[in-house]
Amino acid sequence: MRPARARRSRPPVARVVLWGLAAGVPLAFLAIFFAWPVLALVGRGFVTDGSLDLSGVAEVFGESRTWRLLGITLGQAVAGTVASLVLGVPGAYVLYRCQFRGRTFLRGLVTVPFVLPTVVVGVAFRALLAPGGPLAFLGIDQTFTAIVLALVFFNYAVVVRTVGGLWERLDPRAEQAARALGASPARAFRTVTLPALTPAITSAASLVFLYCATAFGTVLVLGPPGYGTIETEIYVQTTQFLDLRSAAVLSVVQLVVVAGALVTADRTRARRENALGLLPEAHGGRRLSLRADAVPTAVTAAVVILLLALPVATLVTRSLHAADGTWTLDNYRNLATTGGPNALSVTVWEAAGNSLRAAALAALIAVVVGGLVALVVSRRPRARVGRRALRALDSVFMLPLGVSAVTVGFGFLITLDRPLGLDVDLRTSGLLVPIAQAVVAIPLVVRVVLPVLRAIDPRLREAAATLGAGPGRVLATVDLPVVLRPVGLAVGFAFATSLGEFGATSFLARPDTATLPVVIFRLIGKPGAENYGMALAASVVLALVTATVMLLAERLRGESAGEL
């Protein structure tokens, strides 16, 4: 029954080569499509006539405008983070620790904003707050407050999911023990639960800080004239003033700010992965009590209705109205046109086709490259050198999260006319947009797939090996079945992110290959009620597609879901 064992084992050389390829392909991809463009752009800012020139740094920091931008960026990020935490932690409690009907649906619903395209959110908040909108009386249209609200709209889900994910697996007996020792519910929460949640809260806070500090589309659409953050300033300096030196200095400043947030996130993540007192599986929680849980329930209901649902509902109703206030489908009919005079080069539907094609390709690239990274990083080599190398690889692939998408986009333009000296101009091939979108989506894919692969007990693979399965067979029969669903989820994530990507795409898409977010931004920048109505309708279409993709992907999320 047993096959002959005479066959010699495969020489380790073959395995080294295979793993080398698995690590080398993503590294090469990252080097060509991320490191090189970004370094080239930064280099233009610091190198004049072949020698290092730091006068740009002094010049940029000598301007009061730079310090004002830095202040606005940090202020916006801190305000967005604090507000997201204050509102998100009660949400995590209600959605992950309490039982009530419709909980699963509500959990899915609060996730949708996270993947909504930034441009769409900008348009929705304008529709809500601008004169004629339901909340116009607040008088906060195009203010700092409006931007912060929109940032909370995005990042609420990040806090709820990160904190809730830990909270539902927290052993409730620790808090029960505190109660039995005489602590009031509030005191038990403060002294037992909150400290246990701290790693998740810090981890969420750094992510939210990161997203708030680098927000681009939202700020561009919602900010008052003259308002700017470092990210938008990079865009302005490169596209309007063609001042690459200042843009490069600002890119580095942003990288420093963001690296600080990422290091904090990484530290707390490591602590979270070996956190104590966790249950192997989520427990259902207890029934929601409207009296005992009045405060968190009220906060969560207010957030869901006022902050999450209202802007989206306004966007939808406004898209169904003509400029004179009558109900109409004209805005949607106009999607088959190129808008008012000189508005667009393609119809909105053609742009939607461009978006779908680019996003599909981007998702494919992101899942292949990100999947390989997750696979390699999830191994546990015996040698310490190997483990260090893998940790470095993991961090390196998080970098695109921290570098301005605008920087990536512009870097592409100046380097990829003749990549590696080859005589192909990638700029006209139509491949640049999906590649740039993939660079942005890869970290997300890694974050979704890697924790699942890491959670596989190595002894499961050992058990398979002792039953006669070779390394390839172990991968196919142990790792693959576990990781199929998360990979599906990652595809959805990558696809949705790519659909809404604006920062890099706005640089790279040519007029005839414009994607939906680019078209929407162009439409709201043009005068005319017809253009504005089309922007609203196009936003609804884009939001609908993204949300559908995301909700479908969410169904693939297993119990061992990754982060985000």
Partner 1 sequence: MSRGLEVRDAVVRYGTTTAVDGVSLDVAEGEVLALLGPSGCGKSSLLRAVAGLEPLADGSVAWHGRDLAAVPVHRRAFGLLFQDGQLFAHADVASNVGYGLRVAGVRRTDREARVDELLGLVGLSGYGSRAVTALSGGERQRVALARALAPRPRLLLLDEPLSALDRALRERLAAELREILTATGTTGIFVTHDHDEAFAVADRVAVMDAGTILQVAPPEELWAAPVSWRVADFLGYQAVADVDHERVAVGPTGLETTVPDVGRWVGDVVRSVRRRGRTEVTVDVDLGGGVGRYTAVPGAELTDGSDTSVGLRLRADGCAPLPAP
4 vs 52 by CB, closer to partner 1: 4
For 138, the 3-state DSSP assignment is: helix
Residue 2 vs 101, nearer CB to partner 1 = 2
Q: How far apart are the first and last CA of the chain?
A: 48
1 binds partner 1 (CB under 8 A): yes
Candidate ranges 5-13, 235-243, 249-257, 311-319; the one touching partner 1 (CB under 8 A):
5-13
Smallest distance, partner 1 to C-beta of residue 271, A: 23
DSSP string, 248-274: HHHHHHHHHHHHHHHHHHHHHHHHHHT
* Contacts of residue 5, Cβ cutoff 8 Å, sequence gap at least 6: none
Per CB under 8 A, the list member of 7, 101, 291, 380 interacting with partner 1 is 7
Q: Name the phi and psi angles at 51, rounded to 5.
A: -125, 155
Which of 183, 469, 475, 561 forms a contact with partner 1 (CB under 8 A)?
469
Considering the complex, state which of residue 4 and residue 420 has its C-beta at the smaller distance from partner 1: 4
The verdict on 477 binding partner 1 (CB under 8 A) reads yes
Q: Which residue stretch of 99-107, 266-274, 463-471, 495-503 sits at the interface with partner 1 (rule: CB under 8 A)?
A: 463-471
User: Which segment (2-10, 185-193, 335-343, 524-532) binds partner 1 by CB under 8 A?
Assistant: 2-10
The CB-of-9 to partner 1 minimum distance in angstroms stands at 5
Binding mask 326-365 for partner 1 (x = CB under 8 A): ----------------------------------------
**CB contact at 8 A, 23 and 391:** no
Q: For residues 247-258, b (16+ Cβ closer than 10 Å) or e, as one string?
A: bbbbbbbbbebb
Stretch that binds partner 1, among 78-86, 348-356, 465-473, 498-506 (CB under 8 A): 465-473
Nearer to partner 1, 242 or 385 (CB): 385
C-beta of 554: minimal distance to partner 1 in Å?
A: 20
Among 180, 305, 467, 529, binds partner 1 (CB under 8 A): 467
Q: Distance between CA 409 and CA 402 in Å, rounded?
A: 14
CB < 8 Å & 24+ apart, contacts of 16-25: 19/376, 19/379, 22/372, 22/375, 22/376, 23/372, 23/376, 23/393, 25/369, 25/372
| Size of residue set near partner 1 by CB under 8 A | 29
Q: Residue 131 interacts with partner 1 (CB under 8 A)?
A: no
Minimum gap (Å) between residue 372 Cβ and partner 1: 22
473 binds partner 1 (CB under 8 A): yes
How does DSSP classify residue 130? S
Stretch of 54-62, 246-254, 475-483, 549-557 contacting partner 1, by CB under 8 A: 475-483
Question: Does residue 5 belong to the site contacting partner 1 (CB under 8 A)?
Answer: yes
Q: Distance between CA atoms of 31 and 396, rounded to whole angstroms? A: 10
What is the distance between the alpha carbons of residues 506 and 232, in angstroms, rounded to a whole number?
Answer: 12
Cα–Cα distance, 354 to 506 (Å, whole number):
13
Q: Does 464 interact with partner 1 (rule: CB under 8 A)? A: yes
Write down the least CB distance from residue 35 to partner 1, Å. Answer: 34
Q: Which two tokens stand for residue 379?
A: 């191994």
Residue type, 531: N
Gap between the Cα atoms of 497 and 115, Å rounded: 6
Q: Which spans in 168-193 are helix H?
A: 172-180, 185-188
Residue 472's nearest CA partner among 14, 6, 2 is: 14
How far apart, in whole angstroms, are the C-alpha atoms of residue 117 and residue 80? 18
Task: Tell me the sheet residues that pair with 48.
Answer: 51
- What whole-number distance in Å separates Cα of residue 73 and Cα of residue 75? 6
The vertex-105 CA angle with 99 and 111, nearest 5°, equals 110
Q: Are 451 and 562 in contact (CB under 8 A)?
A: yes
Q: For partner 1, give the closer residue by CB, 12 or 131.
A: 12
**Integer Cα distance of 119 and 501 in angstroms:** 9
Exactly one of 28, 306, 460, 529 binds partner 1 (CB under 8 A); which one?
460
Q: How far is the CB of 402 from partner 1 (least distance, A)?
A: 33
Please provide residue 52's backbone torsions phi and psi, each rounded to the nearest 5 degrees. Answer: -65, 130
Site string for partner 1, 478-497 (x = CB under 8 A): x--xx---------------
User: Which residue number, 396 or 456, has a Cβ lying nearer to partner 1?
Assistant: 456
Contact criterion met (CB below 8 Å) for 503 and 372: no
CA distance 205 to 59: 33
Nearest approach, Cβ of 470 to partner 1 (angstroms)? 5
Distance CA 477, CA 404 (A): 39
Instruction: Fill in the amino acid letter for 378.
Output: S
Report 419-458 residues binding partner 1 (CB under 8 A): 457
| 475 near partner 1, rule: CB under 8 A | no
Q: Print the binding letters for residues 375-404 with partner 1: x by CB under 8 A, - otherwise.
A: -------x-x--------------------
- Rounded to 5 degrees, φ, ψ at 407 are -60, -45
Tell me which of 71, 224, 386, 470 binds partner 1, using CB under 8 A: 470
Stretch that binds partner 1, among 7-15, 40-48, 151-159, 202-210 (CB under 8 A): 7-15
- Return the residue matching tokens 């409690």: 93
> Contact region for partner 1 (CB under 8 A) — 79-87, 202-210, 269-277, 467-475?
467-475
Q: Give whichever of 336 and 460 is closer to partner 1, judged by the CB atom.
A: 460
Closest to partner 1 by CB, 333 vs 473, is 473
- If one asks whether residue 463 binds partner 1 (CB under 8 A), the answer comes out as yes
- Shortest distance, position 137 Cβ to partner 1, whole Å: 56
Nearer to partner 1, 12 or 50 (CB): 12
Contacting positions for partner 1 (CB under 8 A): 1-3, 5, 7-10, 382, 384, 457, 459-460, 462-471, 473-474, 477-478, 481-482
